[in-house]
Amino acid sequence: MPKYVVKEGILDKFLKKLFSNIGSGKGAKAARLLHKDPVLQDLTKKASDNQEKMKKHIEKRRKEDSDYDYFYNALK
């Protein structure tokens, strides 16, 4: 067996999982798990707040623009 550790993508995988948890509504749970690191906890809260802003913006645009609504539904 090789005696080296491959570290490529570990941080990327962690961040992807963190943001997928935020996207699926488990952001509060992720923030509790990271309570020992206040910087990451703050960034998680900001990401969660931005997610809410994005949802509001998308809903507003869907009501105003029928093409936007069509493409949004096509992505689902």
> Cβ contacts of residue 29 below 8 Å, gap of 6+?
21
What tokens does 52 get?
A: 């809410």
Q: Is 2 among the domain residues?
A: no
**How many domains does the chain contain in total?**
1
Taken as a whole, the chain contains a residue count of 76
Residues 6+ apart with CB under 8 A from 51: 22, 23, 27
Segments forming the whole domain that contains residue 30: 10-75
- For residue range 34-73, list pLDDT tens digits in order: 777 778 778 877 877 888 888 888 888 888 888 888 887 8
pTM, full prediction: 0.50
Q: How far apart are CA 2 and CA 5, in angstroms?
A: 8
Confidence at residue 11, expressed as pLDDT on a 0 to 100 scale: 63
Q: 39 lies in a domain?
A: yes
Query: pLDDT confidence of 8, banded at 50, 70, 90?
Result: low
